[in-house]
Each structure stands twice: as structure tokens, then as C-alpha cells.
Amino acid sequence: MTDIIPDQRSEFIAGLRQLADFLEATPSVPCRSSERFVYPLMTNTEVEEFAAAHGLVVEYDEAGNAAADLKFGTVTYHVYGYVDFDAHYARKEEERARTWAAEHGLALLPTQGGAA
């Protein structure tokens, strides 16, 4: 599992605490009644290991990709992964390229002996 460097992690956590203190001390400031932090773990195995370490249930979507939620009141720390991250990434990149091409009046065509 990749993560930010320790100093950045500490700063982020301190910022969350400051935000919570500010919201608690300033009831006139609007805040959400729930929040979801989304964190990609890339693979199903990483999600399964995270879930096991925190006593969570892993849920799988129709494609077999894994996800788990760690709840803190109305705040959710959502982790997810993929059966095959490389294939998922390749599909998303192709979709992005096709969208860009269509928006610019272009079309992607297969190369000699390749698929597009």
C-alpha cells in the first residue's frame, strides 16, 4: 500500500483535527452531515488485507473488484481495489483517448495488426 511521506501524513492528520475543532467551536459555519474519504489500494488483495486487519467485510462489484468501508460515525474511509488494475487502467486510458478524439472530431483507428 502506497502512502504519503510521514511529515505530510502528520500534517494531514493535524489538519483534520484542526478542522474538527474549528467546526465544533464555530456552529454558525455550515458543515456536511457525512463525508466519504476514498482511498485506492489498487488490488483486491490489498483491500482484503486492509479489511482483515480492521475487522471489515469486503464487498465485490459485478466485475469482481473489492471494496471495504471503515466507519467513524457518519464519516467513511472507503478503500477499493481491482481484480486486474493494469487492465482497468488500460480501459480507462482508452476511454479517455476516445472521448478526447470524439470531442475534437477525430476517431481512433486500429494500427496495422493492432486493435483500437
Residue 54 lies in a domain: no
Q: Fill in the DSSP letter of residue 67.
A: E
Sign of the Cα pseudo-torsion (85, 42, 47, 77, in order): negative
Task: Provide the domain count of the chain.
Answer: 1
Contact 77, 39 (CB under 8 A): yes
**pLDDT digit string, tens, across residues 32-77:** 889 999 999 989 999 999 999 999 999 999 989 999 999 999 999 9
What is the rounded CA–CA span in Å between residue 75 and residue 77?
Answer: 7
In a domain, 18, yes or no: yes
Percentage of the chain beyond pLDDT 70 is: 93
* Within a domain: 105: no
User: Distance (Å, rounded) from C-alpha 62 to C-alpha 78?
Assistant: 18
pLDDT at 2 over 60: no
Domain assignment present for 83: no
Q: Give the count of beta carbons closer than 10 Å to the beta carbon of residue 46.
A: 19
pTM above 0.75, yes or no: no
Residue 90 lies in a domain: no
Residue 33's alpha-carbon distances to 12, 49, 74, 76, 94, in angstroms, are 21, 30, 7, 12, 37
Label residue 7 by pLDDT band (50, 70, 90). confident
Residue 24 is assigned to a structural domain of this protein = yes
Question: Among the residues of 26-104, which ranges form H helices?
Answer: 44-53, 85-103
Domain that holds residue 10: 1-31
What pLDDT does 4 receive?
65
Does residue 112 fall inside a structural domain? Answer: no
Q: How many residues does the chain have?
A: 116
